[in-house]
C-alpha cells in the first residue's frame, strides 16, 4: 500500500468477497461493507497525500467482545443483538489511531465462555482445515478468519487459552501479552486477574508490529536469523506432555530436534508432580469467582443496556448450565471467598514462583505443545478421546491455562500438520514483562521450523 502497488479499497473489497464466499465458516457476526470500504477510501486518500501510520489502510477483524463505536457489539449473546456502542474500546481506538480499518466483528463463544467455538445464537464456527472440526475458542471466529485468509489479523482475548487454543487448532499465530501490556478497557471480561487482549495473525512479525503500536515503541522489521546459538529453551515433559496425543508428542520432539540442530540448548525441567493439580486449583476458582463481579462492573462502566441477570437468562443452554453451577452464588459449585483468596494469594504465587525459578530461571523460554491434541470433531466437541482416554473440551486448555494464572506472556506458532492434515501448535512462554524478547525468539523459531501450507481452498 505504501508503495502504491495495491490500494486499501481494492484489498478490502477483495477480502469482503472472500468473507461472503466463505460465510459458511460462521467466522463473523457483523460486517459493515459500506463502512469498511469508506474507511479504505479515506486511507487511500491519506496514502496519496504522503501520510504514514503503522497500520494505515490495513483491515483488522475484531472479536465481538470489544466495544466498537457505531458497529454492533453482541459479546456473542442474544440480548445485545442490536447494541451499537457510542464509544470504542481503548484497543480499538488505538488501532484506528494507527490507521487500521475495522473489517468486522468475529463470532465467539457467548461471553467468551468456552473453548470449542459453538455459539447457540450465531452458529458453530468451523475450522478452515476441515469444516467438520472445531476451531477452538473463545476467539473462534478470529482464528477461522485469519486461517481462511479473510483478514490478515484479528484482535482477540485470552483468559485460559482463548487466543492460543484457536491459533493452535487453526494453524495461525496467537499472542497473549503479559497482562496489562495491551489495553483492555472496553472489552467484555471474564476475570480481571486472568484476562488479556491479544492478536491472532499469520506471522510473528505482525504480532511484533501490533505490540509496537500498543506500547508506543519503535517498529522493528529487521530480518532475524534462524541461528539459535546462545538460546536456551526449557521443556517439561512430565507436565506438558502428560496424556497428549501421540502425534502431538512426536511433532513436539521433532521440533526440539530441529531447534537443537539450529544451535539451541535444550534444558529438561520438572515443575513438580503436583504441577497440573496446582494449576487447576489456581485457575478455575479465580476464573469462576471473578466472572459475575467483572461482568457487572463492565456493564455499568460502559452503560450497556442490559443487566447481568438479563445476560444470564438469555444464555444458550450449555453456557447457562455452567454459570448456574459455578458463577452465580446459588450454584452448587460456586467458589467461596475463602477458596478464591487461597487460589489468588497462595496457589497463584506458588505457580508463578515455580515457573520463574525452574523454567525461566534456567532458560530464555519454556516450550510445549499449545494444545494436547488437534481439533476435535464438531459432533464430539464436549467429550472425545485423546490417547485412548476420555476427555472433555476443558482438556484443550490443559497446557495454556497455567501461563494465564502465572501472568506470563505466551505465543503459539504453527508447528506441524498431523496425519489428518490438521494443525498442531507450539507455545513459547517467557518471564512476565519479557514480551519483546519472547517475540524475537518466536520469530527465530518460526524461521527454523518453517511454515506449513494454508487450508485447501483458501
* pLDDT for position 224: 82
User: Is 70 among the domain residues?
Assistant: yes
Return per-residue pLDDT of the chain as tens, 458 residues.
989 999 999 999 999 999 999 999 999 999 999 999 999 999 999 999 999 999 999 999 999 999 999 999 999 999 999 999 999 999 999 999 999 999 999 999 999 999 999 999 999 999 999 999 999 999 999 999 999 999 999 999 999 999 999 999 999 999 999 999 999 999 999 999 999 999 999 999 999 999 999 999 987 766 788 899 999 999 999 999 999 999 999 999 999 999 999 999 999 999 999 999 999 999 999 999 999 999 999 999 999 999 999 999 999 999 999 999 999 999 999 999 999 999 999 999 999 999 999 999 999 999 999 999 999 999 999 999 999 999 999 999 999 999 999 999 999 999 999 999 999 999 999 999 999 999 999 999 999 999 989 999 98
Could you tell me the CATH number of the domain that includes residue 124?
3.90.1300.10
* pLDDT for position 219: 79
User: Is 454 among the domain residues?
Assistant: no
**Cα(109)–Cα(267) distance, integer angstroms:** 37
User: Is 315 among the domain residues?
Assistant: yes
* pLDDT for position 221: 64
* pLDDT for position 226: 85
* pLDDT for position 296: 98
User: Is 400 among the domain residues?
Assistant: yes
User: Is 457 among the domain residues?
Assistant: no
Give residue-wise pLDDT tens across range 111-150.
Answer: 999 999 999 999 999 999 999 999 999 999 999 999 999 9
Instruction: Please tell me the total count of domains within the chain.
Output: 1
**Cα(132)–Cα(122) distance, integer angstroms:** 17
User: Is 458 among the domain residues?
Assistant: no
* pLDDT for position 300: 98
* pLDDT for position 223: 74
Range of the domain at 287: 8-449
**Cα(454)–Cα(127) distance, integer angstroms:** 12
User: Is 239 among the domain residues?
Assistant: yes
User: Is 2 among the domain residues?
Assistant: no
Which residues are known catalytic residues? 63, 138, 162
C-alpha cell at 224: 532475524
Amino acid at each position: 500500500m505504501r508503495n502504491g502497488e495495491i490500494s486499501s479499497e481494492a484489498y478490502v473489497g477483495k477480502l469482503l468477497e472472500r468473507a461472503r464466499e466463505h460465510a459458511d465458516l460462521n467466522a463473523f457476526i457483523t460486517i459493515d461493507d459500506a463502512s469498511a470500504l469508506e474507511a479504505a477510501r479515506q486511507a487511500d486518500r491519506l496514502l496519496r497525500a504522503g501520510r504514514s501510520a503503522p497500520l494505515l489502510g490495513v483491515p483488522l477483524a475484531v472479536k465481538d467482545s470489544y466495544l466498537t463505536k457505531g458497529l454492533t457489539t453482541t459479546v456473542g449473546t442474544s440480548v445485545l443483538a442490536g447494541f451499537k456502542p457510542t464509544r470504542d474500546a481503548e484497543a480499538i481506538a488505538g488501532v484506528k489511531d494507527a490507521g487500521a480499518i475495522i473489517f468486522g466483528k468475529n463470532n465467539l463463544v457467548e461471553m467468551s465462555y468456552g473453548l470449542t467455538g459453538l455459539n447457540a445464537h450465531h452458529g458453530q464456527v468451523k475450522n478452515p482445515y476441515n469444516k467438520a472440526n472445531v476451531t477452538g475458542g473463545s476467539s473462534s471466529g478470529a482464528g477461522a478468519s485469519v486461517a481462511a485468509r479473510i483478514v490478515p489479523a484479528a484482535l482477540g482475548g485470552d483468559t485460559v487459552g482463548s487466543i492460543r487454543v484457536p491459533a493452535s487448532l487453526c494453524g495461525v499465530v496467537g499472542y497473549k501479552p503479559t497482562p496489562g501490556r495491551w489495553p483492555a478497557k472496553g472489552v467484555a471480561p471474564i476475570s480481571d486477574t486472568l484476562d488479556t487482549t491479544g492478536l491472532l495473525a499469520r506471522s510473528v512479525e505482525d504480532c511484533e508490529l501490533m505490540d509496537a503500536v500498543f506500547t508506543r515503541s519503535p517498529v522493528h522489521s529487521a530480518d532475524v536469523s534462524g541461528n539459535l546459538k546462545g538460546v536456551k529453551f526449557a521443556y517439561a515433559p512430565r507436565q506438558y506432555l502428560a496424556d497428549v496425543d501421540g502425534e502431538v508428542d512426536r511433532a513436539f520432539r521433532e521440533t526440539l530436534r530441529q531447534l537443537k540442530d539450529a544451535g539451541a540448548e535444550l534444558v529438561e525441567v520438572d515443575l513438580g508432580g503436583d504441577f497440573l493439580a496446582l494449576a487447576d486449583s489456581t485457575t478455575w476458582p479465580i476464573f469462576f469467582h471473578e466472572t459475575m463481579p467483572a461482568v457487572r462492573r463492565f456493564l455499568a462502566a460502559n452503560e450497556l443496556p442490559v443487566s447481568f441477570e438479563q445476560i444470564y437468562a438469555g444464555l444458550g443452554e450449555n453456557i447457562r448450565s455452567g454459570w448456574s453451577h459455578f458463577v452465580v452464588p446459588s450454584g452448587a459449585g460456586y467458589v467461596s471467598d475463602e477458596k478464591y483468596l487461597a487460589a489468588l494469594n497462595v496457589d497463584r504465587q506458588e505457580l508463578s514462583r515455580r515457573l520463574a525459578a525452574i523454567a525461566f530461571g534456567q532458560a530464555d523460554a519454556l516450550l510445549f505443545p499449545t494444545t494436547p491434541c488437534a481439533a476435535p470433531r464438531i459432533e464430539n466437541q464436549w467429550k472425545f478421546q485423546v490417547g485412548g482416554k476420555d476427555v472433555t473440551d476443558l482438556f484443550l486448555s490443559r497446557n495454556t491455562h497455567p501461563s494465564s494464572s502465572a501472568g506470563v506472556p505466551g505465543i503459539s506458532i504453527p508447528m506441524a500438520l498431523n496425519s489428518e492434515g490438521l494443525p498442531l501448535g507450539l507455545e513459547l512462554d517467557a518471564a512476565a514483562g519479557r514480551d519483546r524478547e519472547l517475540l524475537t525468539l518466536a520469530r527465530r523459531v518460526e524461521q527454523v521450523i518453517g511454515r506449513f501450507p494454508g487450508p485447501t481452498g483458501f
